[in-house]
Amino acid sequence: MAPKPSKASKAQPKAPEPIKEYPNIAAFHQATYENSRPYHKPLASLSATEKTHYAYARLLETGIWKSWDEFQRKDFWKYIETNKIPVPLPEPKDLGRDRNGRDISKYSVKEYEEYQKRERGLEGLVRESTRFRDRQRRLRRSGRAGEDIEGEIEEERNRRKLIGVLRGKKMGRYEEDPEWDDVVPIAQDDGEGALAQIAYTEEYSEAMSYLRAVMSTQEKTPRVIALTSHIISLNPAHYTVWLYRASTLFAINFPIHAEIEWVNDIALDNQKNYQIWHHRQLLVDHLYQEIKDDEAKLKELEDSERAFMTEMFDADAKNYHVWSYRQYLVRKLNLWNQAEIESIEVLLKKDVRNNSAWSHRFFVVFNDPKHCTEGSPATAHDPKIPDNILDREIEFAKAATFEAPQNQSPWNYLRGVLCKGGRDLSSLELFAAEFVKEGKDGAEEDVRSSHALDSLADIWAKTDVEKAKWALELLGNKYDRIRKGYWDWKIGQLMDQPVNTLEGNLEALKV
C-alpha cells in the first residue's frame, strides 16, 4: 500500500508565512513554489548531499516511485522524511479573473483565502441545491408534487439567494424560486439575420421564457397571474400576455373586482395602452353575467366605472381608448341617461374644444334606443328622433359656438345634428351670419369664424353663387390661408371649372 498523501505532506517544507511582505497572492504562490525547489540551482553549486537530495526531489516530481514495490517505496519515503526534502510544487498557474473581472492574482493573501472559502461554500450550496431539485423532481414523478418537507422550500429559496450573493449575480426571479422548478423555460430563439432586435433586460427575457413554458402546457394557476402581472409591468403592449391572463382569471375564478382594481393602476400608468381596455371589456362582460339581475350592483358598477374614466380623463381627456371603452360601456350597461350626458358636459365645460367629448355626446344622443332607430348610422337622417331633442342639441352647440366661434367641434356637431334631423344646412344661415358681417359701403367685413364662412359658402352655393365665391375667397385669401389650395378648388367646383386650374393657384401660394 502506498503511503498516505498526508504522510507526504508532512514532509512538505513549511510554507512561507503569509505576511504582508507578499504584495499579492501571486507573489506568495511564486515564493512557495521557489521554496519547494531549494536544489533547483546549477548543479556545480550543489554539495554532494544536496545533489543526492536533488535526485530524490526529481524522483518525487516525476512520480516514478509509484511504480516501485512496497519495500522500495518505504525506503524512499523514509529518506525523504528524514532529510526533509520538500515536494517540488508545480509552477503557479494564472488564477484568472473573478466575477467582477478583477485579476485574482492581484488579490492580497488574505483576500485570496476568503475568496477560496467563498468558492468552497458556493460549491457546497450548489451541490445542495442540485440535490433539492433532484428530490423535488422525484416527488413530482411519484405524484407527490407540492409536498413540502417542513420548510425545505423556504430553506432552498434562501440558499439560492445566497448563491446569487456569492456569485455576485442575483439569480433570475423564477430561477431563484423553488416553486417554479417544475417549469422548464423556453428561451426565445432569434437565430441569425434577426431584424429589429431589442436590448431586452435579463428580467424580461427570463419572464418571457417562463410564460412561453406555461402557455405550452396551458397551465392556468394563481402563479400565472403573478407571472403575467410581472410581464405586463415590463411590457404592457404584449397582447398574448393579456389574453392568456384573462383566460387564466376566468379559469380559476379570480375575483373580478380585484382584477379591475389592479388594472386601474396599470391604466393610469400606461395612458397610451390599448390592451388594457380590451382586457377591461372582457372583465366587465364576465362580471355582467354575474350581476345582470342585480340593479344595485349594476348601478355600483356604472358609478365606479364612470369615476375611473373621469380619473383617466384628468390625465388626458381625449384618450381614444377610454372613449371607445366608454361607448362599449354605455351599450353594455344601458347608460342612455342624464348622468352620462351631464358627465360629458362637465368635460366640455373644462375644455369646449374637446372633440372626443362632442363625439361621445353625439353617440349618446343619437343612439339612445328610446328615441332612435336602431343601427341608424351617424351620417343618416333618422326620422324617429323627436324635434325637441334636435332643438335641444342645436341650442347646445350654438351656445358653445358663441363661447368660442373658431372652435370647429360645435360647427361639425351642428352639421351632424341637422343631417340626423333631415334639416337643411340653410337653416343655419342666420346663425352663421352672426359671425360674418359684410362691410357696408366699402367698409371691411368683420369675420369672427372661418367655420361660419365655410358653412355660409355651402349654403350660398345653392342659392347665390357669387356670395359663395366671395366667402370662399375670403377664406383662401384672408381668414384661412393654410387651406388656400382647398378653398380655391372649391371655387373651381362652384364655378364648374376644371380642377386643373389648381396648379396656377398653387403657384400663388408658394412663399
Partner 1 sequence: MADPPEDTHLDIPQHIKYWKRCLLTLLPTQYTTTDSSRMTLAFFILSALDLLNAGADTFPPAQRTSIRDWILKCQHPHGGFCGSPNHRYPDAYYEGGESMDPANLPATYFALLALSFVGGLESVNRGACLAWLRRLQRRDGSFGELVTGEGKVEGGYDMRYCYVLANVRWMLRGDMEGPVGGIEDINVESLVRHLKAGQTYDGGISESSSHEAHAGYTYCAIASLKILNRLNNPDTAKDNATSSGLTDISATIRWLMSRQIGYIPDEDSDDDNDSLPDQDNRNTLAGIHSAHAIPALSTTSPEFVGFNGRCNKSVDTCYAFWVTASLNMLNPTYTPLVNTPSMRRFLFTQTQHRIGGFSKHPGGPPDIYHSYLGLAALAVMKEPGLKELDAALCVSREQRARIEGVRGGGGG
Nearer to partner 1, 29 or 484 (CB): 484
Q: How far apart are the first and last CA of the chain?
A: 105
- Check residue 381 for interaction with partner 1 (CB under 8 A): no
Cα–Cα distance list, 145 to 128, 130, 154, 247, 248 (Å) = 19, 17, 16, 24, 21
Nearer to partner 1, 29 or 230 (CB): 230
Nearer to partner 1, 107 or 323 (CB): 323
Nearer to partner 1, 12 or 412 (CB): 412
Nearer to partner 1, 17 or 403 (CB): 403
Hey, which residues between 152 and 211 contact partner 1 (CB under 8 A)? 186, 188-201, 204, 208
Q: Contacts from 114-122 at CB under 8 Å and sequence distance 24+?
A: 118/166, 121/166, 122/163, 122/166, 122/167
Binder of partner 1 out of 49, 82, 100, 379 (CB under 8 A): 379
Look-up of cell digits 361621445: 360
1-9, 107-115, 306-314, 401-409 -> range binding partner 1 (CB under 8 A): 401-409
Binding-site size for partner 1 (CB under 8 A) equals: 90
Structural contact between residues 171 and 160, judged by C-beta atoms closer than 8 angstroms: yes
Q: Report in angstroms how near the CB of residue 318 gets to partner 1 at its nearest.
A: 6
**Residues in contact with partner 1, shown as a per-residue x/- string from 240 to 259 under the rule CB under 8 A:** x--x---x------------
Nearer to partner 1, 48 or 199 (CB): 199
Q: Report in angstroms how near the CB of residue 468 gets to partner 1 at its nearest.
A: 14
Q: Report in angstroms how near the CB of residue 376 gets to partner 1 at its nearest.
A: 9
Cα–Cα distance list, 175 to 104, 218, 355 (Å) = 28, 20, 50
Q: Report in angstroms how near the CB of residue 176 gets to partner 1 at its nearest.
A: 22
Binder of partner 1 out of 157, 238, 332, 467 (CB under 8 A): 238
Hey, which residues between 257 and 296 contact partner 1 (CB under 8 A)? 274, 278, 281
| Nearest CA among 236, 400, 396 for reference residue 321 | 236
Nearer to partner 1, 287 or 447 (CB): 447
DSSP readout, 250-263?
HHTT--HHHHHHHH
Nearer to partner 1, 170 or 353 (CB): 353
Residue 296 in grid coordinates: 344595485
> Helices 355-366 and 408-421, interaxial angle, to 10°?
20
Hey, which residues between 214 and 233 contact partner 1 (CB under 8 A)? 215-216
Q: Report in angstroms how near the CB of residue 302 gets to partner 1 at its nearest.
A: 19
Q: Report in angstroms how near the CB of residue 499 gets to partner 1 at its nearest.
A: 5
Hey, which residues between 58 and 87 contact partner 1 (CB under 8 A)? none
Structural contact between residues 11 and 82, judged by C-beta atoms closer than 8 angstroms: no
Nearer to partner 1, 83 or 201 (CB): 201
> How buried is 290 (Cβ within 10 angstroms: 0-12 exposed, 13-18 middle, 19+ buried)?
exposed
- Other beta carbons within 10 angstroms of residue 308's beta carbon come to 18
d(C-alpha 236, C-alpha 315), whole Å: 18
Nearer to partner 1, 66 or 510 (CB): 510
Nearer to partner 1, 26 or 372 (CB): 372
φ/ψ of residue 387, rounded to 5: -60, -40
| Nearest CA among 366, 350, 438 for reference residue 400 | 350
- Check residue 327 for interaction with partner 1 (CB under 8 A): yes
Which residues lie below 8 Å from residue 396, measured CB to CB, with a gap of 6+?
none
User: Does an H or E element contain 277, and which?
Assistant: helix 275-291
Nearer to partner 1, 305 or 382 (CB): 382
- Check residue 402 for interaction with partner 1 (CB under 8 A): no
Binder of partner 1 out of 90, 96, 377, 442 (CB under 8 A): 377
d(C-alpha 333, C-alpha 328), whole Å: 9
φ/ψ of residue 307, rounded to 5: -65, -40
Q: Report in angstroms how near the CB of residue 168 gets to partner 1 at its nearest.
A: 22
Residue 471 in grid coordinates: 366667402
Hey, which residues between 410 and 439 contact partner 1 (CB under 8 A)? 412-413, 415-417, 419-420
- Check residue 470 for interaction with partner 1 (CB under 8 A): no
| Nearest CA among 346, 330, 417 for reference residue 382 | 417
Q: Report in angstroms how near the CB of residue 61 gets to partner 1 at its nearest.
A: 52
Hey, which residues between 343 and 372 contact partner 1 (CB under 8 A)? 350-356, 359-360, 362-363, 367
Chain centroid, CA 58 distance in Å: 66
Binder of partner 1 out of 136, 228, 343, 449 (CB under 8 A): 449
Hey, which residues between 21 and 60 contact partner 1 (CB under 8 A)? none
Angle 183-185-190 (CA atoms, 0-180°, nearest 5)? 165
d(C-alpha 401, C-alpha 436), whole Å: 13
| Nearest CA among 93, 65, 89, 62 for reference residue 79 | 65
Q: Report in angstroms how near the CB of residue 3 gets to partner 1 at its nearest.
A: 57
Hey, which residues between 471 and 510 contact partner 1 (CB under 8 A)? 478-486, 489, 499-500, 502-503, 506, 509-510
